[in-house]
Protein backbone atom coordinates (compact mmCIF):
# COMPACT_ATOMS: atom_id res chain seq x y z
CA UNK A 1 0.00 0.00 0.00
CA UNK A 2 2.78 2.37 0.89
CA UNK A 3 4.60 1.50 -2.33
CA UNK A 4 1.52 2.34 -4.36
CA UNK A 5 1.22 5.72 -2.64
CA UNK A 6 4.89 6.58 -3.30
CA UNK A 7 4.54 5.60 -6.95
CA UNK A 8 1.43 7.72 -7.36
CA UNK A 9 3.19 10.65 -5.70
CA UNK A 10 6.10 10.38 -8.13
CA UNK A 11 3.73 10.34 -11.06
CA UNK A 12 1.98 13.40 -9.69
CA UNK A 13 5.30 15.22 -9.34
CA UNK A 14 6.21 14.35 -12.93
CA UNK A 15 2.92 15.68 -14.23
CA UNK A 16 3.24 18.82 -12.15
CA UNK A 17 6.78 19.45 -13.47
CA UNK A 18 5.63 18.91 -17.03
CA UNK A 19 2.78 21.37 -16.57
CA UNK A 20 5.14 23.92 -15.05
CA UNK A 21 7.60 23.60 -17.96
CA UNK A 22 4.78 23.96 -20.45
CA UNK A 23 3.37 26.96 -18.64
CA UNK A 24 6.80 28.64 -18.52
CA UNK A 25 7.02 28.39 -22.31
CA UNK A 26 3.84 30.46 -22.68
CA UNK A 27 3.64 34.16 -21.73
CA UNK A 28 1.58 34.96 -18.74
CA UNK A 29 -1.75 36.58 -19.32
CA UNK A 30 -3.94 38.91 -17.32
CA UNK A 31 -3.43 42.12 -15.34
CA UNK A 32 -1.42 40.46 -12.60
CA UNK A 33 0.97 38.99 -15.17
CA UNK A 34 1.37 42.43 -16.78
CA UNK A 35 2.33 43.95 -13.45
CA UNK A 36 4.80 41.20 -12.75
CA UNK A 37 6.34 41.49 -16.23
CA UNK A 38 7.07 45.25 -15.80
CA UNK A 39 6.81 47.89 -18.53
CA UNK A 40 6.61 46.61 -22.10
CA UNK A 41 9.69 47.51 -24.22
CA UNK A 42 10.74 46.93 -27.82
CA UNK A 43 14.31 46.08 -26.91
CA UNK A 44 16.02 43.64 -29.31
CA UNK A 45 16.35 40.10 -28.17
CA UNK A 46 19.98 39.48 -29.12
CA UNK A 47 23.24 41.26 -28.22
CA UNK A 48 24.10 42.26 -31.83
CA UNK A 49 20.77 44.08 -32.20
CA UNK A 50 21.40 45.92 -28.94
CA UNK A 51 24.87 47.04 -30.09
CA UNK A 52 23.48 48.12 -33.50
CA UNK A 53 20.84 50.28 -31.85
CA UNK A 54 23.43 52.00 -29.65
CA UNK A 55 25.62 52.73 -32.69
CA UNK A 56 22.67 54.20 -34.60
CA UNK A 57 21.88 56.50 -31.70
CA UNK A 58 25.50 57.64 -31.52
CA UNK A 59 25.51 58.34 -35.30
CA UNK A 60 22.36 60.42 -35.07
CA UNK A 61 23.75 62.40 -32.16
CA UNK A 62 26.99 63.06 -34.07
CA UNK A 63 25.21 64.19 -37.29
CA UNK A 64 22.88 66.60 -35.51
CA UNK A 65 24.28 70.08 -35.04
CA UNK A 66 24.60 71.20 -31.44
CA UNK A 67 23.38 74.62 -32.67
CA UNK A 68 20.02 73.25 -33.78
CA UNK A 69 18.36 73.27 -37.18
CA UNK A 70 20.18 74.29 -40.36
CA UNK A 71 18.73 76.97 -42.67
CA UNK A 72 19.95 77.25 -46.27
CA UNK A 73 19.91 80.65 -48.01
CA UNK A 74 21.49 80.00 -51.39
CA UNK A 75 25.09 78.86 -50.77
CA UNK A 76 24.98 80.20 -47.19
CA UNK A 77 24.01 78.05 -44.19
CA UNK A 78 22.60 79.58 -41.02
CA UNK A 79 22.05 77.98 -37.62
CA UNK A 80 20.75 78.89 -34.20
CA UNK A 81 20.20 82.62 -33.68
CA UNK A 82 21.44 83.33 -37.21
CA UNK A 83 18.36 81.77 -38.81
CA UNK A 84 16.34 84.65 -40.32
CA UNK A 85 12.67 85.26 -39.83
CA UNK A 86 12.19 86.30 -43.46
CA UNK A 87 13.03 84.63 -46.79
CA UNK A 88 14.60 85.85 -50.01
CA UNK A 89 11.64 85.35 -52.32
CA UNK A 90 9.27 87.14 -49.97
CA UNK A 91 11.70 90.05 -49.74
CA UNK A 92 11.91 90.23 -53.54
CA UNK A 93 8.15 90.28 -54.00
CA UNK A 94 7.46 92.67 -51.16
CA UNK A 95 6.51 96.19 -52.32
CA UNK A 96 9.02 98.77 -51.10
CA UNK A 97 8.29 102.47 -51.10
CA UNK A 98 11.89 103.28 -50.14
CA UNK A 99 14.06 103.67 -53.26
CA UNK A 100 17.33 104.58 -51.54
CA UNK A 101 18.74 101.22 -52.62
CA UNK A 102 18.86 102.54 -56.21
CA UNK A 103 21.63 104.90 -55.18
CA UNK A 104 23.71 102.52 -53.07
CA UNK A 105 27.07 101.05 -54.09
CA UNK A 106 25.92 97.40 -54.53
CA UNK A 107 23.38 98.55 -57.11
CA UNK A 108 26.01 100.74 -58.82
CA UNK A 109 28.23 97.69 -59.18
CA UNK A 110 25.46 95.97 -61.14
CA UNK A 111 25.08 99.05 -63.36
CA UNK A 112 28.81 99.11 -64.03
CA UNK A 113 28.75 95.41 -64.84
CA UNK A 114 25.85 95.86 -67.25
CA UNK A 115 27.67 98.67 -69.07
CA UNK A 116 30.72 96.47 -69.59
CA UNK A 117 28.55 93.59 -70.82
CA UNK A 118 26.59 95.83 -73.22
CA UNK A 119 29.75 97.49 -74.51
CA UNK A 120 31.57 94.24 -75.14
CA UNK A 121 28.50 92.78 -76.80
CA UNK A 122 28.03 95.76 -79.12
CA UNK A 123 31.67 96.15 -80.18
CA UNK A 124 33.05 92.61 -80.15
CA UNK A 125 32.39 92.10 -83.88
CA UNK A 126 33.20 95.66 -84.96
CA UNK A 127 36.50 94.78 -86.58
CA UNK A 128 39.59 97.01 -86.76
CA UNK A 129 39.01 100.59 -85.63
CA UNK A 130 40.73 103.93 -85.06
CA UNK A 131 39.62 106.35 -82.34
CA UNK A 132 39.41 110.08 -83.02
CA UNK A 133 39.40 112.40 -79.98
CA UNK A 134 38.84 116.14 -79.91
CA UNK A 135 36.80 119.01 -78.51
CA UNK A 136 33.01 119.05 -78.50
CA UNK A 137 33.20 122.86 -78.81
CA UNK A 138 34.84 122.99 -82.24
CA UNK A 139 32.44 124.82 -84.63
CA UNK A 140 31.64 123.41 -88.06
CA UNK A 141 33.39 126.36 -89.71
CA UNK A 142 36.69 125.62 -87.97
CA UNK A 143 39.49 124.12 -90.13
CA UNK A 144 39.95 121.44 -87.46
CA UNK A 145 36.34 120.33 -88.02
CA UNK A 146 36.98 119.97 -91.74
CA UNK A 147 40.21 118.09 -91.10
CA UNK A 148 38.48 115.65 -88.72
CA UNK A 149 35.75 115.08 -91.29
CA UNK A 150 38.39 114.16 -93.88
CA UNK A 151 40.09 111.85 -91.38
CA UNK A 152 36.84 109.99 -90.76
CA UNK A 153 36.25 109.60 -94.48
CA UNK A 154 39.76 108.35 -95.22
CA UNK A 155 39.68 105.85 -92.35
CA UNK A 156 36.32 104.45 -93.50
CA UNK A 157 37.55 104.07 -97.09
CA UNK A 158 40.22 101.72 -95.76
CA UNK A 159 37.46 99.52 -94.32
CA UNK A 160 38.33 100.58 -90.77
CA UNK A 161 35.75 101.72 -88.23
CA UNK A 162 35.86 105.20 -86.69
CA UNK A 163 35.20 105.47 -82.95
CA UNK A 164 34.50 108.83 -81.30
CA UNK A 165 32.87 110.08 -78.13
CA UNK A 166 29.68 110.57 -80.13
CA UNK A 167 29.28 114.25 -79.28
CA UNK A 168 29.39 117.43 -81.38
CA UNK A 169 32.49 119.27 -82.66
CA UNK A 170 35.44 117.14 -83.73
CA UNK A 171 33.59 113.96 -82.79
CA UNK A 172 30.67 114.83 -85.05
CA UNK A 173 33.07 115.70 -87.90
CA UNK A 174 34.84 112.32 -87.76
CA UNK A 175 31.54 110.44 -87.52
CA UNK A 176 30.14 112.46 -90.40
CA UNK A 177 33.08 111.70 -92.68
CA UNK A 178 32.90 107.97 -91.88
CA UNK A 179 29.13 107.73 -92.32
CA UNK A 180 29.09 109.59 -95.66
CA UNK A 181 31.89 107.32 -96.90
CA UNK A 182 29.68 104.29 -96.14
CA UNK A 183 31.79 103.12 -93.21
CA UNK A 184 31.22 102.17 -89.60
CA UNK A 185 30.66 105.33 -87.57
CA UNK A 186 30.73 104.50 -83.85
CA UNK A 187 29.80 106.91 -81.07
CA UNK A 188 30.43 106.12 -77.41
CA UNK A 189 28.58 108.83 -75.53
CA UNK A 190 28.66 109.82 -71.89
CA UNK A 191 26.04 111.21 -69.53
CA UNK A 192 26.91 114.89 -69.24
CA UNK A 193 24.73 117.87 -68.22
CA UNK A 194 25.54 120.01 -71.29
CA UNK A 195 25.42 117.40 -74.07
CA UNK A 196 22.28 116.22 -75.81
CA UNK A 197 23.15 112.64 -76.65
CA UNK A 198 24.84 111.19 -79.74
CA UNK A 199 25.28 113.16 -82.96
CA UNK A 200 23.21 112.30 -86.00
CA UNK A 201 26.10 110.74 -87.95
CA UNK A 202 26.56 107.79 -85.62
CA UNK A 203 25.36 104.47 -87.04
CA UNK A 204 26.44 102.40 -84.04
CA UNK A 205 26.13 104.15 -80.72
CA UNK A 206 26.03 103.65 -76.98
CA UNK A 207 25.71 106.01 -74.05
CA UNK A 208 27.56 105.32 -70.79
CA UNK A 209 27.14 106.49 -67.22
CA UNK A 210 30.76 106.01 -66.22
CA UNK A 211 33.83 107.52 -67.85
CA UNK A 212 36.10 104.59 -66.99
CA UNK A 213 33.80 102.08 -68.71
CA UNK A 214 33.63 104.27 -71.80
CA UNK A 215 37.42 104.72 -71.91
CA UNK A 216 37.89 100.98 -71.57
CA UNK A 217 35.85 100.52 -74.77
CA UNK A 218 38.00 103.08 -76.61
CA UNK A 219 41.24 101.36 -75.66
CA UNK A 220 40.03 97.78 -76.08
CA UNK A 221 38.64 98.19 -79.61
CA UNK A 222 41.00 100.77 -81.14
CA UNK A 223 44.25 99.91 -82.90
CA UNK A 224 45.29 103.52 -83.48
CA UNK A 225 44.37 106.98 -82.19
CA UNK A 226 44.19 110.49 -83.62
CA UNK A 227 43.93 113.31 -81.09
CA UNK A 228 42.70 116.67 -82.34
CA UNK A 229 42.78 119.91 -80.31
CA UNK A 230 40.62 119.67 -77.21
CA UNK A 231 40.24 120.52 -73.54
CA UNK A 232 40.24 118.61 -70.25
CA UNK A 233 38.33 115.61 -71.63
CA UNK A 234 40.66 115.25 -74.60
CA UNK A 235 43.74 115.67 -72.40
CA UNK A 236 42.39 113.08 -69.97
CA UNK A 237 41.85 110.55 -72.76
CA UNK A 238 45.27 111.26 -74.26
CA UNK A 239 47.29 110.95 -71.04
CA UNK A 240 45.46 107.85 -69.86
CA UNK A 241 46.12 106.20 -73.22
CA UNK A 242 49.79 107.19 -73.15
CA UNK A 243 50.11 105.87 -69.60
CA UNK A 244 48.66 102.50 -70.63
CA UNK A 245 50.99 102.29 -73.63
CA UNK A 246 54.07 103.38 -71.65
CA UNK A 247 53.41 100.87 -68.86
CA UNK A 248 52.67 98.09 -71.38
CA UNK A 249 49.13 97.59 -70.12
CA UNK A 250 48.04 97.66 -73.76
CA UNK A 251 49.86 96.78 -76.94
CA UNK A 252 51.87 99.61 -78.41
CA UNK A 253 49.65 101.49 -80.84
CA UNK A 254 50.27 104.53 -83.06
CA UNK A 255 49.15 107.79 -81.45
CA UNK A 256 48.94 110.96 -83.56
CA UNK A 257 48.43 114.53 -82.37
CA UNK A 258 46.91 116.71 -85.07
CA UNK A 259 47.82 120.43 -84.98
CA UNK A 260 51.47 121.17 -84.21
CA UNK A 261 50.88 124.74 -83.06
CA UNK A 262 48.22 123.58 -80.60
CA UNK A 263 50.27 120.76 -79.08
CA UNK A 264 53.82 122.07 -79.31
CA UNK A 265 53.62 124.04 -76.07
CA UNK A 266 52.62 120.90 -74.18
CA UNK A 267 55.60 119.00 -75.53
CA UNK A 268 57.95 121.87 -74.81
CA UNK A 269 56.82 121.62 -71.19
CA UNK A 270 57.23 117.82 -71.17
CA UNK A 271 60.71 118.05 -72.71
CA UNK A 272 61.59 120.94 -70.44
CA UNK A 273 60.53 121.12 -66.76
CA UNK A 274 58.97 117.67 -66.58
CA UNK A 275 61.99 115.95 -68.11
CA UNK A 276 64.51 118.19 -66.30
CA UNK A 277 63.02 117.16 -62.95
CA UNK A 278 63.35 113.50 -63.89
CA UNK A 279 59.58 112.91 -63.92
CA UNK A 280 59.63 111.16 -67.32
CA UNK A 281 62.26 109.35 -69.31
CA UNK A 282 63.68 110.85 -72.48
CA UNK A 283 61.76 108.49 -74.76
CA UNK A 284 58.28 109.28 -73.39
CA UNK A 285 57.51 112.21 -75.74
CA UNK A 286 58.30 109.96 -78.72
CA UNK A 287 55.29 107.81 -77.97
CA UNK A 288 53.32 110.21 -80.19
CA UNK A 289 53.68 111.86 -83.59
CA UNK A 290 52.74 115.51 -84.26
CA UNK A 291 51.44 116.47 -87.70
CA UNK A 292 49.47 119.14 -89.56
CA UNK A 293 48.33 116.79 -92.30
CA UNK A 294 45.00 114.93 -91.98
CA UNK A 295 46.18 112.34 -94.50
CA UNK A 296 49.45 111.74 -92.63
CA UNK A 297 47.51 111.40 -89.39
CA UNK A 298 45.36 108.70 -90.99
CA UNK A 299 48.37 106.92 -92.49
CA UNK A 300 50.11 106.70 -89.11
CA UNK A 301 47.01 105.82 -87.10
CA UNK A 302 46.05 102.99 -89.46
CA UNK A 303 49.59 101.71 -90.00
CA UNK A 304 49.34 98.84 -87.51
CA UNK A 305 46.06 97.63 -89.03
CA UNK A 306 47.35 97.86 -92.60
CA UNK A 307 50.53 95.99 -91.61
CA UNK A 308 48.50 93.18 -90.05
CA UNK A 309 46.64 92.71 -93.33
CA UNK A 310 49.79 92.36 -95.41
Q: What is the pLDDT of residue 83?
A: 87
Share of the chain above pLDDT 90, in %: 55
Using CA atoms, how far residue 38 sits from 21, 26, 28, 35, 193, in Å, is 22, 17, 12, 5, 91
The answer on pLDDT for 98 being more than 90 is: no
Alpha-helical regions (H) of the chain: 2-25, 31-37, 47-63, 88-93, 105-123, 143-157, 170-180, 211-221, 232-246, 260-269, 275-276, 294-301, 303-309
Q: Distance between CA 229 and CA 74 in Å, rounded?
A: 54
pLDDT of 3-25, one tens digit each? 445 444 555 555 554 444 444 44
pLDDT band (50, 70, 90) for residue 176: very high
User: What's the alpha-carbon Rg for the chain, to the nearest Å?
Assistant: 44
What distance, in Å, lies between the first and last C-alpha atoms of the chain? 142
Q: What is the pLDDT of residue 162?
A: 98
Closest CA to 262 of 292, 225, 294: 292
What letter does residue 27 receive in the DSSP assignment?
A: P
pLDDT band (50, 70, 90) for residue 95: confident
Q: What is the pLDDT of residue 104?
A: 85
Share of the chain above pLDDT 70, in %: 77
The answer on pLDDT for 160 being more than 90 is: yes
What letter does residue 205 receive in the DSSP assignment?
A: E
> Is pTM, for the whole model, over 0.75?
no
The answer on pLDDT for 217 being more than 50 is: yes
Q: What is the pLDDT of residue 201?
A: 96
Q: What is the mean pLDDT of residues 75-96?
A: 81
Q: What is the pLDDT of residue 292?
A: 98
Q: What is the mean pLDDT of residues 63-75?
A: 78
pLDDT of 99-126, one tens digit each? 777 778 888 899 999 999 999 999 999 9
Q: What is the pLDDT of residue 22?
A: 45
pLDDT of 267-304, one tens digit each? 999 989 999 999 988 766 678 999 999 999 999 999 99
Amino acid sequence: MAKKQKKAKKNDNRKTGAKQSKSSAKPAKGPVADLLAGPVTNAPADAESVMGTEQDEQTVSQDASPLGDTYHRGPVILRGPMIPTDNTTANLLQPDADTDWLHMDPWRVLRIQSEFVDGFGALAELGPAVAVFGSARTPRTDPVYKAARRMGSQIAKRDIAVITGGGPGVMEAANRGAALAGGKSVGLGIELPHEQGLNQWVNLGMSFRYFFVRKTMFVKYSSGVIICPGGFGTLDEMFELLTLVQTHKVANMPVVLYGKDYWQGLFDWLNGPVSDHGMISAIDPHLVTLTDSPDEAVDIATSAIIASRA
